[in-house]
Homo-oligomer: A and B are copies of this chain.
Amino acid sequence: MKIEPLKVEKGIRVSELVEKFSYTALNARRLGESGKIWKEMVKEDAFIFLTLAGAMIPAGMRDIIKDLLENRFAHSLVLTGANVVHEVCEALGFPHLSGSPLANDVELANKGVSRIYDVFMETPAFEGVERFFMETFKELSGVFSSYEILWEIGKRLQNSFLSLAFENKIPVFCPTLHDSIAGLHLMLYGKNAVLNYSKDAKMLLDLCSQKRKMGIVIIGGGVPKNFALQAMLLAEGFDYAIQITTDTPQYGGLSGATLEEAKSWCKLKGDAKAVTVYCDATIALPLLYAYLID
């Protein structure tokens, strides 16, 4: 197929550009193709997992996540504990701040500022989050999966993808909840609450075993990627897969592992439609969302 030189007109919409990307090459093409695959997933009524690692919430992507769930472009979310903590922070009204990645970190520490690359977070935010978790976790009693804990959190928030998940009983898994500030607070304050991931695994297996097309959109690798892919070892494999990452396969880590490799494990079906986009997800994900809503 011929590569078509990209022509950009004044006033071009994002969705038009993403469409045009699919006739170019390199990662623009991959981005365009991922848009088409995601659209097909939606059209074919596939059940879609969205997995999320990296500093996506601190970087300002929380509304995109919420809108993806609200528009049913994803039906389940798997994310890291850090993203949960930062989402709670935002939902409570403690904003993240823009900062320099070249700042002196010892000085930042002295001023009570914690840095995530070019994002700053101040002490009051941590205190607010701790208060929220303390109050929330004190009220909990029993054995909880991570998605149940997140529903409990969502119940107490507004204007968050976590509150949306609670209201619509969307399963949001956090397989590293214990490895986060939320997890520390759960341990300190949730004396009567036990976190047990077996319940997560069971729910996940049920979702993976549905009699419909299955799709996955992987943002940035990590445990969320492995958690969702691995469940397919006990099911039939994904029909569709999109991966947005800046990790490459040459060093053998899971985050950079190709979707082709996942086929050898039968985590993807042999004929699955799959594409990896090598791009910072803060750029690629909003482009894809804009493509999908149009």
Contacts and interface: CB of A to CB of B under 8 A. Distances in A.
Contact of A12 (B117, B249, B290): B290
Contacts of A108: 263-264
A26 B4 CA distance: 30
Interface in A243-294: 246-255, 257, 260-266, 270, 278-280, 282-284, 286-287, 289-290, 293-294
A178 B175 CA distance: 8
B64 A6 contact: yes
Among A95, A178, A262, the one with the most B-chain Cβ atoms within 10 Å of its Cβ is: A178
Nearest to A201: B187
Contacts of A278: 246, 250-251, 280
By size class, the interface of chain A is 35 or more
A21 interface: yes
A63 B5 CA distance: 6
A118 B28 CA distance: 12
A11 to B, nearest CB: 6
Copies of this protein in the assembly total 4
Nearest to A259: B105
A179 B226 contact: yes
Interface string A176-188: 1011110110010
A82 interface: yes
Given A26-B252, A60-B28, A251-B278, A197 B223 contact: no
Interface in A192-251: 194-198, 201-202, 220, 222-223, 226-227, 230, 233-234, 246-251
A29 interface: yes
A91 to B, nearest CB: 10
Given A201-B187, A251-B54, A6 B116 contact: no
A110 to B, nearest CB: 8
Top 9 nearest A-B pairs by Cβ distance?
A24-B60, A28-B282, A27-B280, A25-B59, A105-B264, A108-B264, A55-B252, A115-B264, A105-B263
Interface of A: 1-8, 10-15, 17, 21, 23-29, 31, 53-55, 58-64, 67, 82, 90, 95-98, 101-103, 105-106, 108-110, 113-119, 175-176, 178-181, 183-184, 187, 194-198, 201-202, 220, 222-223, 226-227, 230, 233-234, 246-255, 257, 260-266, 270, 278-280, 282-284, 286-287, 289-290, 293-294
